[in-house]
Amino acid sequence: MPVHNADIATVFEEIADLLEIQGENPFRIRAYRNAARTVNELGRDLATLLAGGGELPKLPGIGPDLAGKIKEIAASGTCALLERLHRELPPAITELLKVPGLGPKRVRLLHDSLEVDTVEELRRAGGAGRIRELPGFGEKMEARILEALAARPAAPQRFKLAVAAQYAAALEAWLARVPGVRKVTVAGSYRRMRETVGDLDILVAAAAGSPVMRRFTAYDEVKSVLAQGETRSSVLLKSGLQVDLRLVPPESYGAALHYFTGSKAHNIAIRKLGQARGLKINEYGVFRREERLAGDTEESVFAAVDLPWIPPELREDRGEIEAARRGELPRLVALADLRGDLHSHTKATDGHGSIREMALAAKAAGLSYIAVTEHSRRLTVARGLDPQRLARQIDEIDRLNESLSGITVLKGIEVDILENGGLDLPDSALKGLDLVVGAVHSAFTLPRRRQTDRILRAMNSRYFTVLAHPSARLLGSREEMDLDWLRVVRAAKERGCFLEVNAQPDRLDLDDVHARMAREEGVPVAVSSDAHSTYDFAHLQYGIGQARRAWLEPKDVLNTRSLKELKPLLARTMGR
């Protein structure tokens, strides 16, 4: 069975949860959580590497014991420790961890005090008013738990784009090897580069008699077959991701690809254009009465309504059809357009590589410059830099640049924006840098006006270049801050600073709507990796996907510029 990095990370997270429920050593628990994050964010597939006879790379925080478990999971999908923990604890207890507001400590308290081991037992305990009696819970928490339980069936699981990509890429490659298969494309919201994916829609064109449907439902990762037919089958993977496969004839492939890529609103708009011309457009083709006019390619579908091909990322019915009709579709930015990266970390704080290692990895990724932007002192959990340590790093970067070839390291800092809008480090510490990246890491729930004023005050600091992960959201776990976005964007334009599209799969922040607002207001954005390891530059592809959904062209992205073009722009934000 194929095992992906996300599967290995899931096993480590479950081990950490079960150890915490058992009251194990917190350092041991943290080791598993850190390992899960490291593996999940890795830009290369470990199971594939090991299956090909490769050696496990040296990974930060992963010693011989954890490395051995990675190999064990990569080979079998599980490990002996997890199986032992499952035997020691009630089998359904981990389901409680999926209830919002319940972490391992609370689950342990429920287990020990109320003998609650299942979701149904939790529901009964809450209905009887017993949860509120436990220390650390109370009436409000009990009510929130009951509300979350009531909402569970209405909240389908969604997967972060980078996680879905691990399963999509493996399935696409596997199906392409099935005899008779000519084309395979993953469509749907995945192809549109949505930040989260509910399921995967895969289209296949195959010769008659191809065993593709049978091979698909027999795929090793399939947990259950939901439906099976000659032209459509649906399965649920063991990860919980639903995958639908459709077999279409070559003459309909383009029409089906357009239809199943979506979005629904875009498709309806295209169908209406067809109806105005006396055409019927569906997943089978473009027809005038019974005569097929087009459908073998997407281009032919768009041409039937007098439009050029529209990139999938734009197909949200947000003006793309009108722009196409006027001949004003943007030339969307591509990964190859990036010349550098303006947000990265090293092992001086919470990163995992040296400055040299990160620089060489950026060079290998095709970049010509990289900004090292460590956390500042207030973020103690990341061992943030104080002025003295920052000054030493500046000297280290200057010395390193003298020996590097083909890559330049820029001197930066990711300075904390305090609750009052001040910056965590004094001007005297910042003035020697090439750029200052400002970021919020606390007080996320301030009212809109206070939060907006906080950001605006920070941007008006003497040294301020880029507002990093501007909404501070974490997909699936933390909502974005409540901001007056138009004020923020226009203040950035007036100040001459920039906004970031953070490419970390947990963030993808700015979202596409606000990044497009920045474009329309003339504020360039930096598509940055926020790399914490040498593998994280692979995440830039997801930041580019977000930028494309926001209609950004190369000129709209700060770091598509050469270093020579970039330096004057940075210098202006630093008062030079």
Comparison of pLDDT for 254 and 143, the residue scoring more: 254
Question: Which residues are 246's β-sheet partners?
Answer: 203, 232
Decide: 447 and 377 in contact? Cβ < 8 Å: no
CB-based burial of residue 532 (10 Å sphere; 0-12 exposed, 13-18 middle, 19+ buried)? buried
Three-state DSSP at 60 gives: coil
The reported pLDDT for the residue numbered 274 is 95
| Band of pLDDT at residue 101, cut at 50, 70 and 90 | confident
Residue 141 has pLDDT above 90, yes or no: no
Least confident of 20-34, 39-53, 63-77, 484-498: 39-53
- Helix or strand holding residue 373 (H, E): strand 369-375
Give every CB contact of residue 268 below 8 A, 6+ residues apart in sequence.
317
How far apart CA 180 and CA 178 sit, in angstroms, is: 6
How far apart CA 107 and CA 153 sit, in angstroms, is: 21
The reported pLDDT for the residue numbered 1 is 61
Phi (first) and psi of residue 159, to 5 degrees: -110, 140
Residue 151 has pLDDT above 80, yes or no: no
Question: Which residues are 245's β-sheet partners?
Answer: 202, 233
| Band of pLDDT at residue 41, cut at 50, 70 and 90 | confident
Q: Which of 334, 335, 357 is nearest to 344 (CA)?
A: 357
| Band of pLDDT at residue 315, cut at 50, 70 and 90 | very high
The reported pLDDT for the residue numbered 47 is 87
- Helix or strand holding residue 541 (H, E): helix 540-549
Mean per-residue pLDDT, 528-535? 93
Structure tokens at 437: 């990246």
How far apart CA 489 and CA 34 sit, in angstroms, is: 35
How far apart CA 370 and CA 540 sit, in angstroms, is: 13
Residue 527 has pLDDT above 80, yes or no: yes
Decide: 300 and 286 in contact? Cβ < 8 Å: yes
Mean pLDDT of the chain: 92
Letter for the amino acid at 570? Answer: L
| Percent of the chain whose pLDDT exceeds 70 | 98
Bridging pattern class, strands 159-160 and 181-186: unpaired
| Band of pLDDT at residue 156, cut at 50, 70 and 90 | low
CA dihedral 477, 482, 485, 491 (to 10 degrees): -110
C-alpha pair distances (Å), 415 with each of 286, 375, 432: 55, 6, 14
The edge-to-edge listing of strands for the beta sheet with 280-282 is 280-282, 285-288, 291-294
Chain position carrying tokens 């309504």: 305
Phi (first) and psi of residue 566, to 5 degrees: -75, -40
Residue 362 has pLDDT above 70, yes or no: yes
| Percent of the chain whose pLDDT exceeds 90 | 70
The reported pLDDT for the residue numbered 496 is 96
Give every CB contact of residue 145 below 8 A, 6+ residues apart in sequence.
99, 101, 102, 122, 126, 131
Q: Which of 556, 548, 557 is nearest to 528 (CA)?
A: 557
Least confident of 123-132, 141-150, 472-481, 515-524: 141-150
Give every CB contact of residue 119 below 8 A, 6+ residues apart in sequence.
92, 95, 96, 99, 149, 152
Residue 153 has pLDDT above 70, yes or no: no
Mean per-residue pLDDT, 278-303? 95
Residue 95 has pLDDT above 80, yes or no: no
CB-based burial of residue 340 (10 Å sphere; 0-12 exposed, 13-18 middle, 19+ buried)? buried
Mean per-residue pLDDT, 432-437? 97
| CATH 3.30.210.10, domain 266-326, yes or no | yes
pLDDT digits (tens, 9 = 90+) for 384-429: 999 999 999 999 999 999 999 999 999 999 999 999 999 999 999 9
Least confident of 118-132, 194-208, 454-468: 118-132
The reported pLDDT for the residue numbered 155 is 52
Phi (first) and psi of residue 310, to 5 degrees: -110, 125
Question: Best-predicted range by mean pLDDT among 53-62, 115-124, 271-280?
Answer: 271-280
The reported pLDDT for the residue numbered 152 is 64
Q: How many other β-carbons are positioned within 10 Å of the β-carbon of residue 63?
A: 10
Decide: 457 and 490 in contact? Cβ < 8 Å: no
Chain position carrying tokens 């729930």: 445
Letter for the amino acid at 338? Answer: L
The reported pLDDT for the residue numbered 109 is 87
First-residue to last-residue Cα distance in the chain: 57
Decide: 366 and 336 in contact? Cβ < 8 Å: yes
The reported pLDDT for the residue numbered 399 is 97
The reported pLDDT for the residue numbered 80 is 92
Buried-state track 18-40, b at ≥16 Cβ within 10 A, e below 16: bbbbeebeeeebebbbbbbbbbb
Residue 380 has pLDDT above 90, yes or no: no
Question: Which residues are 369's β-sheet partners?
Answer: 340, 408
- R_g (Cα) of the chain, nearest Å: 26
Chain position carrying tokens 């004020």: 487
Phi (first) and psi of residue 63, to 5 degrees: -90, -165
How far apart CA 165 and CA 156 sit, in angstroms, is: 19
Decide: 439 and 415 in contact? Cβ < 8 Å: yes
Q: How many other β-carbons are positioned within 10 Å of the β-carbon of residue 231?
A: 11
Residue 154 has pLDDT above 70, yes or no: no
Mean per-residue pLDDT, 41-67? 85
Going by the DSSP 8-state scheme, the letter that residue 366 receives in this structure is: T
Where are the chain's structural domains? 5-154, 159-247, 266-326, 335-573
The reported pLDDT for the residue numbered 96 is 81
**What is the CATH code of the structural domain delimited by 5-154?**
1.10.150.110
Half-sphere exposure of 305 (CA within 13 A, CB side): 28
Decide: 38 and 59 in contact? Cβ < 8 Å: yes
**What is the CATH code of the structural domain delimited by 335-573?**
3.20.20.140
Residue 197 has pLDDT above 60, yes or no: yes
Candidate CATH numbers 1.10.760.10, 3.30.460.10, 3.90.1150.10, 3.40.50.10140; the one for domain 159-247: 3.30.460.10
Residue 43 has pLDDT above 90, yes or no: no
The reported pLDDT for the residue numbered 91 is 67
| Band of pLDDT at residue 52, cut at 50, 70 and 90 | confident
